[in-house]
Amino acid sequence: MIQIAPDAPIGSAPSRRAAMPPRHLADLDLPGRQAVIAELGEPAFRAKQISTHYFGRLVRDPERMTDLPSASRDRITEALLPNLLTPVREVACDDGATRKALWRLHDGSLVESVLMGYPDRVTVCISSQAGCGMACPFCATGQAGLTRNLSTAEIVDQAVHLAGVAASGAVAGSPPRLSHVVFMGMGEPLANYSRVVAAVRRLCAPAPEGLGLSQRHVTVSTVGLVPAMRRLADEGLSVTLALSLHAPDDELRDELVPVNQRWKVAEVLDAAWHYAERTGRRVSIEYAMIRDVNDQPWRADLLGRLLAGRLTHVNLIPLNPTPGSRWDASPKPVEREFVRRLRAAGVSTTVRDTRGRDIDGACGQLAAAAVTP
């Protein structure tokens, strides 16, 4: 069981701050970058120049910043563009349409991100923490525990790096421009709240302040940290909220998503409907289909009753295999019956594809452990 003291700022214990990386321009808004530039004694417009390289042109190599005099270039890149993510390995599957990147952070922590190309869009799935403290027993990331929160720039830089990969034309059959970001990699985004919200703002600010994505194309997924969900509803953002529900009843959800011991199904759904009301955005309900565990017809009916008439959409995720797991995915006929019952209750429902399964890059498979040096 996870221990969460009432009102504790989850995941922000001071001891973890020690390992935070150096400041990077993606940690700062444009005025913040201008202040750093001023401290360096450089003209203010250099803040926009360096931002345009990073966010607009996806360039991070100082040699290519030929509009900056070389002395300024070194000073500025040292102050605002430290190397945050070192690529350790990149593996592809689905004919190159899915790529998993493994990064080493400045303190040796490892995190993963996944790039997924579709005919009409390119999505990256990014991590918000190294490891995860939520301990869901069917998820590989949950097994090793939390190492630390990522900084805003460490989060943003995953998307910017992979936007560069997409722009190079590496994802055949997809547009070259990154369009969608999902916070469904390693970690619990709402346990690293302020950095994740800052990262969303940076990803969505128009270039050169940010990457210029549409807020509607960003999804933040949560195990259901109720106070943080309510806070997110008041941020004035129109990102999609995804709730990892996985069971409609407290008895089972207490086991599958241990944080349910703190915030129950009814409370977490209330917070989801509050989010939908405040933002006008449909809340996604994530539900991993686990054979003989949560896939019974009665659970489909109960879920249907809880969700009927709400601004919501159910994503069923066939359980992906994880090391040492005693669970399997539901058989297809069982899955079809589950879908049928939810739809009969009037609940919009789809089954998620299993992109990245071959490279342990699918939902719940990110563990960043298997490094062969």
Question: Does 317 engage in binding with ligand SAH (CB under 6 A)?
Answer: yes
Residue of 68, 102, 184, 368 interacting with ligand SAH (CB under 6 A): 184
Instruction: Work out how close the CB of 209 gets to ligand SAH at its nearest, in angstroms, rounded to a whole number.
Output: 26
Instruction: Work out how close the CB of 143 gets to ligand SAH at its nearest, in angstroms, rounded to a whole number.
Output: 10
Residue 304 one-letter amino acid: G
CB–CB of 340/79 below 8 Å? Answer: no
Q: Is 221 annotated as a binding residue?
A: yes
Total number of residues that touch ligand SAH (CB under 6 A): 18
The 3-class SS string of 56-92 reads HCCCCCHHHCCCCCHHHHHHHHHHHCCCCCEEEEEEE
Measure the CA–CA gap between 332 and 342, rounded to whole angstroms.
Answer: 15
Residue of 10, 288, 303, 339 interacting with ligand SAH (CB under 6 A): 288
Question: Does 237 engage in binding with ligand SAH (CB under 6 A)?
Answer: no
Of 52-60, 99-107, 133-141, 228-236, the segment contacting ligand SAH by CB under 6 A is 133-141
Q: Is 204 annotated as a binding residue?
A: no
Q: Which residue has the tokens 């080493």?
A: 104
Question: Does 143 engage in binding with ligand SAH (CB under 6 A)?
Answer: no
Measure the CA–CA gap between 325 and 309, rounded to whole angstroms.
Answer: 35
Q: How far, in Å, are 215, 244, 282, 304, 314 from residue 346 at the CA level?
A: 27, 20, 15, 8, 11
Residue 266 one-letter amino acid: A
Question: Does 319 engage in binding with ligand SAH (CB under 6 A)?
Answer: yes
What one-character DSSP code corresponds to residue 329? B
Q: Is 56 annotated as a binding residue?
A: no
Q: Is 244 annotated as a binding residue?
A: yes
* Nearest position to ligand SAH, beta carbon: 364
- Residue of 42, 154, 209, 363 marked catalytic: 363
Q: What are phi and psi of 369, to 5 degrees?
A: -105, -45
Question: Does 112 engage in binding with ligand SAH (CB under 6 A)?
Answer: no
Question: Does 364 engage in binding with ligand SAH (CB under 6 A)?
Answer: yes
* DSSP helix/strand/coil, 98: strand
Instruction: Work out how close the CB of 316 gets to ligand SAH at its nearest, in angstroms, rounded to a whole number.
Output: 10
Q: Which of residues 34 and 141 has its CB atom nearest to ligand SAH in the complex?
A: 141
Question: Does 192 engage in binding with ligand SAH (CB under 6 A)?
Answer: no
Question: Does 226 engage in binding with ligand SAH (CB under 6 A)?
Answer: no
Q: Which H helix or E strand runs over 160?
A: helix 152-167
User: Minimal CA–CA distance to 100: which of 108, 92, 88, 109?
Assistant: 92
User: Minimal CA–CA distance to 15: which of 121, 152, 107?
Assistant: 107
Q: Which of residues 36 and 265 has its CB atom nearest to ligand SAH in the complex?
A: 265
Q: Is 102 annotated as a binding residue?
A: no
Instruction: Work out how close the CB of 365 gets to ligand SAH at its nearest, in angstroms, rounded to a whole number.
Output: 6
Instruction: Work out how close the CB of 24 gets to ligand SAH at its nearest, in angstroms, rounded to a whole number.
Output: 23
Q: What are phi and psi of 71, to 5 degrees?
A: -65, -45
- Residue 204 annotated as catalytic: no
Q: Is the dihedral of CA 300, 302, 308, 312 positive or negative?
A: negative
Of 134-142, 148-156, 208-216, 277-285, the segment contacting ligand SAH by CB under 6 A is 134-142
Q: Is 136 annotated as a binding residue?
A: yes
- Residue 112 annotated as catalytic: yes
Q: Which residue has the tokens 């539900």?
A: 287
Residue 170 one-letter amino acid: A
Question: Does 162 engage in binding with ligand SAH (CB under 6 A)?
Answer: no
Q: Is 313 annotated as a binding residue?
A: no
- Residue of 112, 154, 209, 286 marked catalytic: 112
Q: Is 245 annotated as a binding residue?
A: yes
Measure the CA–CA gap between 44 and 53, rounded to whole angstroms.
Answer: 15
The alpha carbon of 264 is separated from its chain's Cα centroid by a whole number of angstroms, namely 23
Residues annotated as part of the active site: 112, 363
Annotated binding site for [4Fe-4S] cluster: 132, 136, 139
* Interacting residue ranges for ligand SAH, rule: CB under 6 A: 134, 136, 138-139, 184, 188, 221-223, 244, 286, 288, 317, 319-320, 322, 363-364
